[in-house]
Structure 1
Amino acid sequence: MLDIKWIRENAEALDAALAKRSAEPQAAHLIALDEKRRSVVQSLQDMQSRRNAASKEIGAAMAQKNMELAEKLKAEVAHLKDAMPAAEDAERQVSAELADALSRIPNIPLDDVPVGKDEHDNVVKRVVGEKPGWNHAAKEHYEIGEALGYMDFERAAKLSGARFTVLTGQLAKLERALGQFMLDLHTTEHGYTEVSSPLMVRDEAMYGTGQLPKFAEDLFKTTDGRWLIPTAEVTLTNLVSGEILEQEKLPLRFTALTPSFRSEAGSAGRDTRGMLRQHQFWKCELVSITDAESSIAEHERMTACAEEVLKRLGLHFRTMTLCSGDMGFGARKTYDIEVWLPGQNTYREISSCSVCGDFQARRMNARYRGKDDKGTTFVHTLNGSGVAVGRCLIAVMENYLNEDGSITIPDALLPYMGGLKRIEKAA
């Protein structure tokens, strides 16, 4: 969430930033709401002040035996008391209206973010590795998985409908190995603390990281009012909600391997074959909590940690700087890591690493205090995939496909595969 004080002082800058995101100007509307709120608050404060003053004047009038004045003042106090609940309701209503309007405004892109409308305007930051050089034909993951006998979409549809997959045997083991490999890498070499956190959260947690109120249709809600997490970013970031942290203990770095649940409301007709876009999938999430001065450097570090997963697996990828029109709601700057999929003959996103500044911290009221500081400052938050397990499984299957249809296990995963070096057709 943006600071209304900043908006009042930087109205043109806000509208210019929204224009970069292809959004309508909002500064005038927000400032008008804030003016209305200030007017109502001032009116309420005036009523409270006059009530308190009149109450004291009643005592003075009684002491002077001026009963007529005392009765007049009592009538005034009674009138103010009767009027104040309506004024308090008006103050709550306009404050809620302003808060709701602010909660729907996206974050301000950093100055070095390329301006553009969509993914076609994203900019290549670096390319790592090379595409596999084969003599045999490439295949898509679902062709490979079904031919091996370890990937079943019909049974998944019988159980749950579209956008679900059943993995069995050696492919199920490979998926589990990938998740464990990522978690071990980030905790033992990259300095992240492993967290096991809930998969269902309250409204406040979804609000804190920006999924609510604007993106409710992208989420699954339980019958008791909780939400299934679309990413462990929600729980890991909200670990510090409402807290004041000590600056010398920052940064905090958290990682979790969890299922993620998404309705894919806006993806009708896209990636309907296979397991590229699912309602349920595993992901290794990375979250950092930093002070205001460290977040930009932490963004580069986090992205490098995610890239290292693909380097260790020997997968070819490129890292893209997202343009202003393609960034997520809460991001100030985002790098997407896109892995090469030979079966599709294209790059597909496998990780997205974003720096959010204090945007989420304001929603969560998460702050820090320096050793010699009297006041507090909002923390900066970052999140990234380290990486999406299902998409990484797809990448391994397609990039390590052999001519006979088997899949060679990457060296980095051998310690997790119980001696298995190749996935072959089920007997």
Structure 2
Amino acid sequence: MLQLQTIRDHKDELVQALGKRNIDANGLLEEVLLLDEKRRSTQTQLDSLLAESNKLSKEIGMLYKTGKVQEANLLKEKTVILKEESKQLGDDLNTTAEELQTLLYQIPNAPHATVPAGTSEEDNEEVFKEGEIPTLAEGALPHWELAKKYDIIDFELGVKIAGAGFPVYKGKGARLQRALISYFLDKNTAAGYTEIQVPHLVNELSGYGTGQLPDKEGQMYHVTADDLYLIPTAEVPVTNIFRDVIVNESDFPITYTGYTPCFRREAGSYGAHVRGLNRLHQFDKVEIVRVEHPSRSYEALDGMVEHVKTILRELKLPYRILRLCGGDLGFTAALTFDFEVFSTAQDRWLEISSVSNFETYQANRLKLRFKDENGKNQLAHTLNGSSLALPRVLAGILENYQTPDGIKIPEVLIPYCGFDTID
């Protein structure tokens, strides 16, 4: 969430930056400043009353010691009034602080200066493209037809067991899925990321810590009996490791990678763009998360982008990178690069990764700080990226590597799969 001091000192700049998200934030930020002023004024009054009450308590003690009981009793009556006033001010302070926090939770992160203005994904800016789009033989099939033909993914069985968006991977399809997970984790750990296994459910505080709550509450599966949420991405549990933590400046960079299933209650829609693996309620993803010194976080973001590039180069999949515009930028992100792989059979680009810098936005919610060289606590920067989300990578492999005789396996995956063709 945005820092109050930043809002106080740079309100006009924030209004302009948030305008890239097509938000007129002036009214919201003014309301924040009014509530903040009310909170600080109430705190000052409360501190003054408490100081006066403490002073009177000392005077009362001295009066009793010197035998001036009547004077002491008169002052005690005054302290009773002060306590009642203090209690009311304390209640007012808590109410104002809660209102202020609720309002701050509603304000998204301010986009980085390089984020282009725009209203939708149509306005995203292509910044890089690489790889040859293969020419497929006549009669090439989309991945959902290939899955059925070679009996490697059963979408109908998933509907029977759970519902639409919960596929069942079978045989070589399951082994290819497992191979991709292992390959991604090996690439990430070789790049210096520490592998970690985390819970697949989180509590409400964790959801607020990384910004999924309250923004994406309707998209998360909620286990109401236990008030827990199924994770939409490993970013949530991994980043929350650092909630209420003060790290040492020498600890940077802090880097983690983890595989988890992910669960999302996507809005129901129909058509080829959401068929098969294109949009799921449960899917597998390998994530990379970084906690960085603010002065080095954008260098780290560039490094994450280059890292994902190396994976796609080894898979030999045609891909492009987009810088997301303000209208398509995630609620908590300051800058995001999306990776998309080209699906030749569908003749469209499929998003497979988002790599983002959140600057201090998540850290402020998490109270994730570090001690600087002067011993002062400062907010760290957090970053994360998909490395990679499996469904659309798998879709791209099935479609782009298909031949009349079967589906070839990318060379880099053969040692992980134990086979080179699906036929």
Aligned residue number for residue 154 of structure 1: 156
Is 1:416 aligned to 2:410, yes or no? no
d(CA) in 2 for partners of 1:288, 1:70: 60
Please list, as runs of the form range in 1=range in 2, the aligned pairs for 1:13-32 lying within 5 A after superposition: 13-25=13-25, 26-32=28-34
The alpha carbon displacement at 1:322 in A equals 0.6
Aligned residue number for residue 279 of structure 1: 281
Residues 318-376 of structure 1 show CA distances to partners (whole Å, capped at 9, x for unaligned) of 00111111111111100000100012201111000001111111111111224x43112
Aligned residue number for residue 122 of structure 1: 124
Is 1:335 aligned to 2:347, yes or no? no
Secondary structure of residue in 2 paired with 1:204: helix
d(CA) in 2 for partners of 1:327, 1:310: 23
d(CA) in 2 for partners of 1:29, 1:14: 14
The alpha carbon displacement at 1:89 in A equals 1.6
Aligned residue number for residue 201 of structure 2: 200
Secondary structure of residue in 1 paired with 2:175: helix
Aligned residue number for residue 381 of structure 1: 382
TM-score (norm 1): 0.94
Please list, as runs of the form range in 1=range in 2, the aligned pairs for 1:5-154 lying within 5 A after superposition: 5-25=5-25, 26-62=28-64, 68-154=70-156
d(CA) in 2 for partners of 1:344, 1:314: 18
d(CA) in 2 for partners of 1:175, 1:326: 29
The alpha carbon displacement at 1:68 in A equals 4.9
d(CA) in 2 for partners of 1:78, 1:166: 69
The 3 A distance-change label for structure 1 pair 341 and 379 is same
RMSD (CA atoms): 1.6
Aligned residue number for residue 3 of structure 1: 3
Gaps of 5+ in 1: none
d(CA) in 2 for partners of 1:50, 1:245: 38
- 8 Å CA contact 1:139, 1:342 repeated in 2: no
- 8 Å CA contact 1:113, 1:321 repeated in 2: yes
Aligned residue number for residue 210 of structure 2: 209
Please list, as runs of the form range in 1=range in 2, the aligned pairs for 1:209-288 lying within 5 A after superposition: 209-222=210-223, 223-265=225-267, 268-269=269-270, 271-288=273-290
The alpha carbon displacement at 1:130 in A equals 1.3
d(CA) in 1 for partners of 2:70, 2:417: 93
d(CA) in 2 for partners of 1:344, 1:135: 14
- 8 Å CA contact 1:150, 1:171 repeated in 2: yes
d(CA) in 2 for partners of 1:317, 1:166: 27
- 8 Å CA contact 1:164, 1:275 repeated in 2: no
What amino acid sits opposite 2:97 in the alignment? S
d(CA) in 2 for partners of 1:391, 1:91: 49
Secondary structure of residue in 2 paired with 1:155: helix
Secondary structure of residue in 2 paired with 1:239: helix
d(CA) in 2 for partners of 1:237, 1:422: 38
- 8 Å CA contact 1:12, 1:27 repeated in 2: no
The alpha carbon displacement at 1:305 in A equals 1.1
d(CA) in 1 for partners of 2:60, 2:189: 69
d(CA) in 2 for partners of 1:194, 1:119: 33
d(CA) in 1 for partners of 2:192, 2:148: 38
The alpha carbon displacement at 1:63 in A equals 6.2
d(CA) in 1 for partners of 2:23, 2:214: 17
The alpha carbon displacement at 1:67 in A equals 5.1
Is 1:403 aligned to 2:404, yes or no? yes
d(CA) in 1 for partners of 2:76, 2:151: 86
d(CA) in 2 for partners of 1:239, 1:59: 48
The alpha carbon displacement at 1:421 in A equals 1.2
What amino acid sits opposite 1:177 in the alignment? A
d(CA) in 1 for partners of 2:165, 2:41: 51
Aligned residue number for residue 393 of structure 1: 394
Secondary structure of residue in 2 paired with 1:179: helix
Q: Percent identity?
A: 37
What amino acid sits opposite 1:279 in the alignment? H
